Protein backbone atom coordinates (compact mmCIF):
# COMPACT_ATOMS: atom_id res chain seq x y z
CA UNK A 1 0.00 0.00 0.00
CA UNK A 2 2.65 2.56 0.91
CA UNK A 3 4.80 3.72 -1.95
CA UNK A 4 7.94 5.78 -2.21
CA UNK A 5 9.59 7.67 0.59
CA UNK A 6 8.55 11.25 -0.16
CA UNK A 7 10.63 13.02 2.48
CA UNK A 8 12.26 12.93 5.86
CA UNK A 9 11.58 16.00 8.01
CA UNK A 10 14.12 17.32 10.51
CA UNK A 11 13.15 19.92 13.10
CA UNK A 12 15.78 22.60 13.64
CA UNK A 13 16.14 25.65 15.85
CA UNK A 14 18.13 27.71 13.35
CA UNK A 15 17.02 27.25 9.77
CA UNK A 16 19.76 29.46 8.33
CA UNK A 17 22.48 27.48 10.07
CA UNK A 18 20.94 24.15 9.08
CA UNK A 19 20.57 25.31 5.46
CA UNK A 20 24.21 26.39 5.37
CA UNK A 21 25.27 23.02 6.75
CA UNK A 22 23.45 21.12 4.01
CA UNK A 23 24.39 23.55 1.23
CA UNK A 24 28.00 24.35 2.07
CA UNK A 25 29.27 21.38 4.06
CA UNK A 26 27.19 18.58 2.55
CA UNK A 27 26.97 20.04 -0.96
CA UNK A 28 23.21 19.66 -1.39
CA UNK A 29 20.73 21.72 -3.42
CA UNK A 30 18.86 23.77 -0.82
CA UNK A 31 15.74 25.87 -1.51
CA UNK A 32 14.97 29.32 -0.17
CA UNK A 33 12.99 29.30 3.11
CA UNK A 34 9.23 29.10 2.67
CA UNK A 35 7.02 30.37 5.48
CA UNK A 36 3.90 28.25 6.00
CA UNK A 37 1.89 30.08 8.65
CA UNK A 38 -1.03 27.65 8.40
CA UNK A 39 1.31 24.85 9.49
CA UNK A 40 3.31 26.86 12.04
CA UNK A 41 6.62 26.20 10.32
CA UNK A 42 9.13 27.68 7.93
CA UNK A 43 10.42 25.01 5.55
CA UNK A 44 13.55 24.53 3.50
CA UNK A 45 13.55 21.73 0.94
CA UNK A 46 16.69 19.78 0.17
CA UNK A 47 16.46 17.87 -3.10
CA UNK A 48 18.37 14.61 -3.15
CA UNK A 49 18.52 12.30 -6.16
CA UNK A 50 16.05 9.83 -4.65
CA UNK A 51 14.06 11.81 -2.06
CA UNK A 52 13.78 15.08 -0.19
CA UNK A 53 14.79 16.32 3.22
CA UNK A 54 12.68 19.03 4.80
CA UNK A 55 14.15 21.27 7.45
CA UNK A 56 11.40 22.64 9.73
CA UNK A 57 11.79 25.70 11.94
CA UNK A 58 9.00 26.84 14.29
CA UNK A 59 6.95 29.80 13.05
CA UNK A 60 4.67 31.79 15.34
CA UNK A 61 2.95 30.85 18.58
CA UNK A 62 1.87 27.27 19.13
CA UNK A 63 4.01 25.77 16.38
CA UNK A 64 3.48 22.00 16.22
CA UNK A 65 7.25 21.48 16.42
CA UNK A 66 7.93 23.81 19.37
CA UNK A 67 7.46 21.11 22.00
CA UNK A 68 9.50 18.64 19.97
CA UNK A 69 12.41 21.10 20.05
CA UNK A 70 11.99 21.57 23.80
CA UNK A 71 12.50 17.83 24.19
CA UNK A 72 15.20 17.71 21.50
CA UNK A 73 17.18 20.93 21.84
CA UNK A 74 19.71 19.95 19.17
CA UNK A 75 16.89 19.29 16.70
CA UNK A 76 16.08 15.85 15.38
CA UNK A 77 14.17 13.70 12.96
CA UNK A 78 10.54 14.76 13.28
CA UNK A 79 8.67 12.56 10.80
CA UNK A 80 8.94 10.53 7.64
CA UNK A 81 6.49 10.76 4.76
CA UNK A 82 5.34 7.87 2.60
CA UNK A 83 3.42 8.29 -0.61
CA UNK A 84 0.05 6.62 -1.08
CA UNK A 85 -2.19 6.59 -4.13
CA UNK A 86 -5.50 6.83 -2.22
CA UNK A 87 -5.23 8.51 1.15
CA UNK A 88 -8.75 7.66 2.31
CA UNK A 89 -8.34 4.00 1.45
CA UNK A 90 -4.96 4.01 3.22
CA UNK A 91 -6.46 5.68 6.28
CA UNK A 92 -9.31 3.21 6.51
CA UNK A 93 -7.00 0.23 6.14
CA UNK A 94 -4.65 1.56 8.83
CA UNK A 95 -7.51 2.34 11.21
CA UNK A 96 -8.88 -1.14 10.70
CA UNK A 97 -5.43 -2.38 11.69
CA UNK A 98 -5.55 -0.41 14.94
CA UNK A 99 -3.47 2.63 13.97
CA UNK A 100 -4.49 6.03 15.28
CA UNK A 101 -4.81 8.96 12.90
CA UNK A 102 -3.95 12.33 14.43
CA UNK A 103 -6.37 15.26 14.49
CA UNK A 104 -9.90 14.80 13.25
CA UNK A 105 -8.84 12.00 10.91
CA UNK A 106 -9.58 13.97 7.76
CA UNK A 107 -6.78 14.74 5.27
CA UNK A 108 -5.38 18.28 5.27
CA UNK A 109 -3.55 20.03 2.48
CA UNK A 110 0.14 19.66 3.30
CA UNK A 111 3.34 21.49 2.51
CA UNK A 112 3.29 20.36 -1.14
CA UNK A 113 -0.34 21.25 -1.82
CA UNK A 114 -1.46 17.62 -1.60
CA UNK A 115 -3.66 15.80 0.96
CA UNK A 116 -1.79 14.50 4.00
CA UNK A 117 -2.51 12.65 7.22
CA UNK A 118 -0.36 11.95 10.26
CA UNK A 119 -0.28 8.67 12.18
CA UNK A 120 0.41 8.33 15.88
CA UNK A 121 4.09 7.59 16.60
CA UNK A 122 3.20 5.13 19.35
CA UNK A 123 1.63 2.90 16.72
CA UNK A 124 4.70 3.06 14.42
CA UNK A 125 7.77 2.22 16.48
CA UNK A 126 8.09 5.70 17.91
CA UNK A 127 8.11 7.43 14.51
CA UNK A 128 5.60 10.04 13.42
CA UNK A 129 4.38 9.00 9.98
CA UNK A 130 2.96 11.33 7.34
CA UNK A 131 1.02 9.94 4.40
CA UNK A 132 0.81 12.04 1.27
CA UNK A 133 -1.47 11.29 -1.64
CA UNK A 134 0.45 11.67 -4.89
Which member of 54, 57, 83, 130 is catalytic?
130
**E strands, 1-134, in order:** 5-11, 29-30, 34-36, 41-47, 52-58, 76-84, 108-109, 115-119, 129-133
Q: Yes or no: say if 134 and 114 are a contact pair by the CB < 8 Å rule.
A: yes
Q: State the binding string over 70-109 for Co ion (x if CB under 5 A, else -).
A: -----------x----------------------------
9 binds Co ion (CB under 5 A): yes
# chain residues binding Co ion, by CB under 5 A: 3
User: Is 130 an annotated catalytic residue?
Assistant: yes
**Chain residues in the site for Co ion (CB under 5 A):** 9, 81, 130
Amino acid sequence: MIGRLNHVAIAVRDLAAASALYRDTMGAAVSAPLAQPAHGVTVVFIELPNTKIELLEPLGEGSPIARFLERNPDGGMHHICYEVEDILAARDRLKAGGARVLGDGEPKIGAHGKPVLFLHPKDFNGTLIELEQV
